[in-house]
Amino acid sequence: MSHDAHVYVKSQTEYEYARKKRRESMRGQVTTFGIMIFLTLISFSTVIAGFSMYFILPVILLLASVQVVLQLYYFMHMSEKNHNVPAFFLYVGAFFGFVFIITFLTIVWWG
């Protein structure tokens, strides 16, 4: 065992600041979770109500994309500092995926 180990003790101000940041983070995650549950209920309601498939499909895709963004930013901590490189790769991948889908939908419709 090392006898040269230094123990850092937080001051009361640092402790209160860390506690406040954790509380804000938890509040944001719980709020986001509630929003996602609400969006899921809207999706189920549109299907149960028997709306046209041409209405249901875009609504569900829109709500799903909103949920993906919420999950990335609040549960995968993409909104925190120093997550720029992973966010960049995520956005580039999403862009290429979107272009890929649009390209093949265009080929199928006009082909």
> Hey, where are the domains in the chain?
1-76, 81-111
pLDDT in tens, 57-78: 999 999 998 998 888 888 777 7
Give the mean pLDDT of 87-109. 90
Q: Report the alpha-carbon distance of residue 68 to residue 75 in Å, rounded.
A: 10
- The answer to whether 75 and 41 are in contact (CB under 8 A) is no
Q: Give residue 59's pLDDT.
A: 93
**pLDDT confidence of residue 12:** 87
Residue 64, pLDDT score? 92
Residue with more model confidence, 83 or 101? 101
Check whether 96 has a pLDDT greater than 90.
Answer: yes
